[in-house]
Amino acid sequence: MKLNEILKGLDYKIINGSDDEEVNKIEYDSRKVEKGDLFVCIEGFNVDGHKYAKAAYEKGASAIICSKDIEKIGKCSIIKVQDCRKALAISASNFYGNPSKKLKLIGITGTNGKTTSTFMIKSILENAGHKTGLIGTISNYIGDKKLKSERTTPESLELHQLFRKMVDNNIEYCVMEVSSHSLSLDRVYGIEFCEGVFTNLTQDHLDFHKTFQNYYEAKLKLFKGSKNSIVNIDDTYGEKILNDISGDSITYSVEKNSDLIAKNIHNHSRGVEFDLCYKNENIHMELHIPGRYNVYNALCSVAACICEGISLEDIKKGLKDVVVPGRCELATKGTNLDYDVIIDYAHTPDGLENILKTAKEFTKGRLISVFGCGGDRDRTKRPVMGKIGSEMSDIAIITSDNPRSEEPIKIIEDILEGIDKSNYVVVENRRDAIKKAMMMAKEGDVVVVAGKGHEDYQILKDETIHFDEREVIKDIIKELF
């Protein structure tokens, strides 16, 4: 494709060469550059792509997009823009034929609930006969085809490439998690969503955003690029979003008056039931995943699908059929144990509180929790999670959860700062911690293993090891029984 076609819609200045070059493909990683490629200089937190402009040229780049001054390199075309991340987003969209315009996009943002809500919406749309793609934390999907997910929301180049594959496979809808990182870093810049969905906003990612206001403003970006806004008004920041946006919106709640309300909620160990009230209609809904917070996830999913003209009967069937890996997942299903072990992705204070509150509702005996906090991430949430875990559990086992470059015991010490009670045990090795919990458990108890959910790895200082908690729990059962 010609460079000027790739740059269409951008305000740019030609510093060297011309914009009539033929471009092979776009890259922002100089190591992947091949002859005839366009290299975009992206400024990261640790690495500035401008430093690798010459290396990209030496590998064969025929054109370079930059926002800072770089040296003129041979016959290479140098294009200067104000913002390289926005330029990458627009260029990638143009290069892949603007595929997002050929899809109906539903974007979901919030601290918790994004993954579950995307799976719910996908299930509803597919039950209604629509071929649907999904982009998110667990995996990416093109219809039934599962693809590996590197991050919650891909970089704009990979995102538009994925959109292109969906269009080529006749996908009609794409439901995607839109992380606060992706919004701050303009990965979804220039994309219009049919629906923008807000789940909630609680403490997370302050290592990246620095302040809660920055975190909120990042989330807000989604709704300025959406035709319809779907907002949880039981959340304080949901009400704030309604005041800060214009355009059509649908509200949902459990506690306040809204467009969609859930009433008569009944939670049990195998799911949750509730009555959905919308306009003059009441319909009984069933989910095979428990938790009051999953009622909220269901409500926002229902609202998005109502906007797309899906009937309440199709919505009901889609919700009943939904399965979400690693979200309040019963890991001991089909065993003869007289207690339950639940694994969940909860890795934030709010997420941990939600899963423990849910489990408490159907625990006949004691509630035993196993949790930790990730290394090289927001340290301020560690004591908060320690307090929640110890106060809401009968026994809390503090352990490791992706320590990365930090010493696991140092992370655990941060968690312990928030604990006032004496009902906790420290077991640094995560497998040993799960085994300890299962050895403690008696008839009627529930063990909640929080933090990893669908993940099948542990990130240590110098390696990433395989660690699937489903497998771990099965192995421990064989050892103990």
The CATH number of residue 444's host domain is: 3.90.190.20
Q: Per the annotation, does 401 bind a ligand?
A: yes
In a shared domain, residues 29 and 127: no
In a shared domain, residues 310 and 182: yes
In a shared domain, residues 20 and 118: no
251, β-bridge pairs? 231
Q: Per the annotation, does 132 bind a ligand?
A: no
Do 96 and 163 meet the contact criterion of CB atoms below 8 Å apart? yes
Q: Per the annotation, does 327 bind a ligand?
A: no
In a shared domain, residues 73 and 143: no
The predicted model gives 404-422 an average pLDDT of 97
Comparing CA positions, the residue from 389, 199, 355 lying closest to residue 269 is: 355
In a shared domain, residues 317 and 335: no
Say what the pLDDT of residue 45 is: 75
Distance CA 10, CA 31 (A): 26
Mean pLDDT of the chain: 94
Q: Per the annotation, does 404 bind a ligand?
A: yes
Do 230 and 117 meet the contact criterion of CB atoms below 8 Å apart? no
Say what the pLDDT of residue 203 is: 54
Distance CA 163, CA 21 (A): 25
Say what the pLDDT of residue 464 is: 96
Comparison of pLDDT for 181 and 64, the residue scoring more:
64
Say what the pLDDT of residue 34 is: 98
In a shared domain, residues 69 and 128: no
Comparing CA positions, the residue from 383, 395, 387, 386 lying closest to residue 446 is: 395
The predicted model gives 81-94 an average pLDDT of 98
Considering 321, 340, 359, which residue would you say is the last residue of a domain?
A: 321
pLDDT band at 212 (very low <50, low <70, confident <90, very high): low
Cα of 56 vs its chain's centroid, Å: 32
pLDDT tens readout for residues 255-283: 999 999 999 999 887 789 999 999 989 99
Q: Per the annotation, does 30 bind a ligand?
A: yes
Say what the pLDDT of residue 246 is: 87
Q: Per the annotation, does 187 bind a ligand?
A: yes
Q: Per the annotation, does 109 bind a ligand?
A: no
Write the CATH number for 314.
Answer: 3.40.1190.10
pLDDT tens readout for residues 147-175: 999 888 999 999 999 999 999 999 999 99
In a shared domain, residues 233 and 276: yes
Comparing CA positions, the residue from 53, 61, 66 lying closest to residue 23 is: 61
Say what the pLDDT of residue 189 is: 97
In a shared domain, residues 50 and 163: no
Structure tokens at 57: 């040229």
* Domain interval for residue 14: 3-95
77, β-bridge pairs? 63
Write the CATH number for 78.
Answer: 3.40.1390.10
**Residues ≥6 apart with Cβ < 8 Å to 401:** 347, 371, 372, 373, 374, 430, 451, 452
The predicted model gives 279-288 an average pLDDT of 94
Amino acid identity for residue 261 in this structure: I
Q: Per the annotation, does 402 bind a ligand?
A: yes
Q: Per the annotation, does 24 bind a ligand?
A: no
Q: Per the annotation, does 251 bind a ligand?
A: no
Considering 78, 95, 112, which residue would you say is the last residue of a domain?
A: 95
In a shared domain, residues 305 and 363: no
Structure tokens at 356: 């423990």
The predicted model gives 400-412 an average pLDDT of 97
pLDDT band at 215 (very low <50, low <70, confident <90, very high): confident
| pLDDT above 90 as % of the chain | 85
Say what the pLDDT of residue 259 is: 97
Say what the pLDDT of residue 207 is: 54
Q: Per the annotation, does 455 bind a ligand?
A: yes
458, β-bridge pairs? 465
Say what the pLDDT of residue 204 is: 53
* pLDDT tops 70 at residue 209: no
Q: Per the annotation, does 451 bind a ligand?
A: yes
**Residues ≥6 apart with Cβ < 8 Å to 228:** 194, 195, 196, 247, 248, 249, 250, 307
Report the number of distinct structural domains present in the chain.
Answer: 3
In a shared domain, residues 252 and 362: no
Q: Rounded to a whole number, what is the distance in angstroms from the first to the last CA of the chain?
A: 63
* Residue that has been written with the tokens 């655990």 in this structure: 412
pLDDT tens readout for residues 419-457: 999 999 999 999 999 999 999 999 999 999 999 999 999
* pLDDT tops 60 at residue 205: no
Q: Per the annotation, does 291 bind a ligand?
A: no
Q: Per the annotation, does 114 bind a ligand?
A: yes
In a shared domain, residues 116 and 18: no
Q: Per the annotation, does 110 bind a ligand?
A: yes
Q: Per the annotation, does 115 bind a ligand?
A: yes
The predicted model gives 372-392 an average pLDDT of 96
Q: Per the annotation, does 153 bind a ligand?
A: yes
Considering 95, 122, 156, which residue would you say is the last residue of a domain?
A: 95
* pLDDT tops 70 at residue 347: yes
* pLDDT tops 80 at residue 12: yes
The predicted model gives 292-308 an average pLDDT of 97
In a shared domain, residues 382 and 458: yes
Distance CA 48, CA 377 (A): 22
The Cα-based distances of 145 to 66, 134, 318, 320, 439 in angstroms read 36, 10, 19, 22, 39
